[in-house]
Amino acid sequence: MKLLKDFKAFILKGNVLDLAVAVIIAGAFKAIVTSFVKDIIMPPIGVLLGGTDFSELKLILKEGSDAVMNGDQIVTAAISEVTVNYGVFIMTILDFIIIGFAIFIIVRAYVKSQKKKEEAPAAPPAPSKEEVLLSEIRDILKENK
């Protein structure tokens, strides 16, 4: 029962909600980066490499075949080809590098902002009521001399 109680306490913390929001935003960010790589970065690279479409780059391990039909009856079912899609893998690596760099920049900016907060000198605390009262008494005594 302690496990369930601890789990409930964990779920009800605000950090879980923050994490859920972060995961949703990361999913949207991944879609943006994937489109950026696929639609903006890879076409110029493909043109530089002789009109290559990276999503079509693959190594065919086994050729596929079409279905053999006898009228409406299938004699032999179609066999799809077996491929290693290394072009898609290259695009995925680029996605990862761009997302990793963006997260690095965000974390770096956050760390710098935290250092600035730490380096900023804290304002001296306001004097307590006793100190104010003692200062007033001191000033009155100075005036009476």
Q: What's the confidence (pLDDT) of residue 75?
A: 72
Paired tokens of 115? 């250092």
d(CA 31, CA 25): 10
Q: What's the confidence (pLDDT) of residue 84?
A: 92
Task: Tell me the CATH architecture of domain 2-140.
Answer: Orthogonal Bundle (1.10)
Contact 34, 54 (CB under 8 A): no
* 37 class by beta-carbon count within 10 Å (0-12 exposed, 13-18 middle, 19+ buried): buried
Residues near 28 by beta carbon (within 8 Å), at least 6 away in sequence: none
Over the stretch 105-115, which tens digit does the pLDDT of each residue have?
Answer: 888 988 888 88
Q: Where are the domains of the chain?
A: 2-140
**Ranges of the chain whose pLDDT falls below 70:** 14, 120, 122
d(CA 8, CA 65): 55
Q: What's the confidence (pLDDT) of residue 120?
A: 66
